[in-house]
């Protein structure tokens, strides 16, 4: 069954294109979305339909709820999913790797705007670093095959598997906790921590591997931090967000720098890099056709606040020198 009046897609890697991929997901949605206990959640059979070249594609797959906060039904009605395609010869989903799918917290237009904003957080980091997760925005028709769960349409984010990221960057994932932040590769770390400040995100930790993946690069003999999961930030600003208790701010729209202390020459190098990338970042948001004017203007305002800080030496000292981390 495929009811999608969709654009046709040429064969290739799922994350090679940035057009919105339109899919149908059919399964026992009630059973899937209610299976949220992290101790015993299991994979459920689904069918993914999409259009490729000149025909409709039916892809058998398995899906399981995942995550922490958004998996909890008291926080979100629609949990994030892990998708495992069951056909490695599929034209687009040509992998057996686990692919993360981020759903909106609830099925509202406002929540979908937040998903699109989180997607742009990933895309901005793609501009800033090659060591970043590729993403694909999807428009999903969810259909319950037993009629026990109301069908709905929403936007979501597919996130590149970490093994794909490691392969294309010639690195290997390491899953060791306790590695201090300042022991990672400084050029990448400094961009990453400034990016987290840029989007107003304090919900991450290198030593705890909280919303951070670590990659080891043989030729650099260095560990590279890669951030992900950006919903708890001022850039996205969904209604459920609040800063971690250990962070001395009261609202996620307030920025708080969690980068390491650097000499002024190093800090200026990072600042200059972000200034150089501003036109590309602004063009990315300007070209968007999915955000409402209010949400797009909200992004522009938040970005402008960041760059106003970078242009003021007193604010640079206050934000990045007086508040830097000594470790």
- With respect to residue 14, please indicate whether it lies within any of the assigned structural domains: no
Q: Are residues 135 and 256 in the same domain?
A: no
From CA 67, how far away is CA 36, in angstroms rounded? 9
* Confidence grade of residue 166 (pLDDT, cut at 50, 70, 90): very high
- With respect to residue 211, please indicate whether it lies within any of the assigned structural domains: yes
- With respect to residue 35, please indicate whether it lies within any of the assigned structural domains: yes
Q: Are residues 133 and 177 in the same domain?
A: no
- With respect to residue 93, please indicate whether it lies within any of the assigned structural domains: yes
Q: Are residues 185 and 107 in the same domain?
A: no
Mean pLDDT, rounded, of the chain: 94
Q: Are residues 144 and 180 in the same domain?
A: no
Q: Are residues 203 and 132 in the same domain?
A: no
pLDDT tens-place string over residues 107-160:
999 999 999 999 999 999 999 999 999 999 999 999 999 999 999 999 999 999
From CA 141, how far away is CA 48, in angstroms rounded? 10
Full domain range(s) for residue 302: 170-321
Q: Are residues 191 and 283 in the same domain?
A: yes
3-state SS, the chain, equals CCCCCCCCECCCCCCCCCCCEEEEEEECHHHHHHCCCCCCCCCEEEEEEEEECCEEEEEEEEEEECCCCCCCCCCCCCCCEEEEECCCCCCCCCCCCCEEEECCCCCCHHHHHHHHHHHHHHHHHHHHCCCCCCEEEEEEEEEECCCCCCCEEEEEEEECCHHHHHHHCCCEEECCCCCCHHHCCHHHHHHHHHHHHHCCECCCECCCCECEEEEEECCCCEEEEEECCCCCECCCCCCCCCCCCCCCCCCCCCCCCCCECCCHHHHHHHHHHHHHHHHHHHHHHHCCCCCCHHHHHHHHHHHHHHHHHHCCHHHHHHHHHCCCECC
* Confidence grade of residue 304 (pLDDT, cut at 50, 70, 90): very high
Q: Are residues 154 and 184 in the same domain?
A: no
Q: Are 42 and 64 in contact (CB under 8 A)?
A: yes
pLDDT tens-place string over residues 41-63:
999 999 999 987 678 899 999 99
- With respect to residue 34, please indicate whether it lies within any of the assigned structural domains: yes
Q: Are residues 218 and 77 in the same domain?
A: no
Residue 9 has pLDDT above 90, yes or no: no
Residue 223 has pLDDT above 80, yes or no: yes
Of the three residues 139, 161, 183, the one that is the final residue of a domain is 161
Phi, psi of 289 (to 5 degrees): -120, 5
Q: What is the pLDDT of residue 55?
A: 80
* Confidence grade of residue 1 (pLDDT, cut at 50, 70, 90): very low
Of the three residues 117, 134, 161, the one that is the final residue of a domain is 161
Read off the pLDDT of each residue in 201-213 and give the average, rounded to a whole number: 98
Q: What is the pLDDT of residue 10?
A: 39
- Please give the structure tokens belonging to residue 324: 């830097």
Q: What is the pLDDT of residue 88?
A: 85
Q: Are residues 185 and 155 in the same domain?
A: no
Of the three residues 161, 195, 215, the one that is the final residue of a domain is 161
- With respect to residue 86, please indicate whether it lies within any of the assigned structural domains: yes
Residue 3 has pLDDT above 80, yes or no: no
Q: Are residues 120 and 241 in the same domain?
A: no
The CA distances from residue 188 to 25, 118, 244, 320, 327, in Å, are 37, 21, 24, 17, 17
pLDDT tens-place string over residues 94-113:
888 999 999 999 999 999 99
- With respect to residue 113, please indicate whether it lies within any of the assigned structural domains: yes
> How many independent structural domains does the chain possess?
2
pLDDT tens-place string over residues 62-96:
999 999 999 999 999 999 999 999 998 888 898 88
Please calculate the CA angle 205-209-213 and round it to the nearest 5 degrees.
110
- Please give the structure tokens belonging to residue 186: 């400084």
Residue 2 has pLDDT above 80, yes or no: no
- With respect to residue 128, please indicate whether it lies within any of the assigned structural domains: yes
Q: Are residues 198 and 294 in the same domain?
A: yes
From CA 1, how far away is CA 4, in angstroms rounded? 9
Q: Are residues 123 and 232 in the same domain?
A: no
């Amino acid at each position: 069954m495929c009811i999608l009046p969709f654009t046709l897609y040429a064969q290739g890697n799922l994350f090679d294109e940035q057009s919105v991929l339109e899919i149908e997901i059919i399964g026992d949605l009630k059973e899937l979305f209610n299976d949220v206990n992290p101790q015993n959640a299991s994979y459920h059979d689904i069918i993914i339909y999409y259009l490729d070249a000149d025909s409709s594609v039916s892809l058998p797959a398995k899906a399981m709820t995942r995550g922490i906060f958004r998996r909890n039904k008291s926080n979100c009605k629609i949990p994030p999913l892990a998708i495992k395609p069951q056909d490695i010869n599929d034209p687009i989903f040509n992998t057996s790797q686990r692919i993360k799918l981020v759903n909106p917290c609830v099925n509202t237009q406002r929540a979908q705007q937040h998903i699109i904003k989180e997607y742009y957080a990933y895309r901005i980091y793609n501009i800033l670093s090659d060591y970043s997760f590729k993403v694909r925005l999807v428009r999903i028709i969810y259909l319950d095959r037993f009629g026990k769960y109301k069908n709905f349409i929403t936007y979501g984010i597919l996130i590149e598997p970490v093994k794909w990221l490691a392969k294309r960057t010639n690195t290997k994932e390491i899953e060791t906790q306790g590695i201090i932040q300042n022991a990672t590769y400084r050029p990448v770390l400094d961009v990453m921590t400034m990016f987290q400040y840029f989007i107003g995100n304090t919900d991450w930790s290198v030593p705890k591997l909280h919303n951070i993946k670590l990659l080891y690069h043989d030729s650099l003999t260095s560990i590279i931090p890669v951030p992900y999961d950006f919903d708890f930030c001022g850039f996205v600003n969904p209604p459920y967000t609040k800063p971690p208790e250990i962070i001395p701010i009261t609202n996620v729209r307030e920025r708080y720098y969690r980068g390491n202390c650097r000499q002024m020459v190093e800090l200026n190098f990072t600042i200059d890099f972000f200034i150089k990338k501003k036109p590309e970042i602004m063009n990315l948001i300007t070209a968007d056709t999915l955000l409402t004017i209010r949400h797009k203007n909200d992004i522009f305002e938040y970005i402008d606040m960041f760059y106003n800080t970078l242009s003021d030496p007193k604010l640079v000292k206050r934000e990045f020198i007086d508040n830097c981390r000594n470790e």
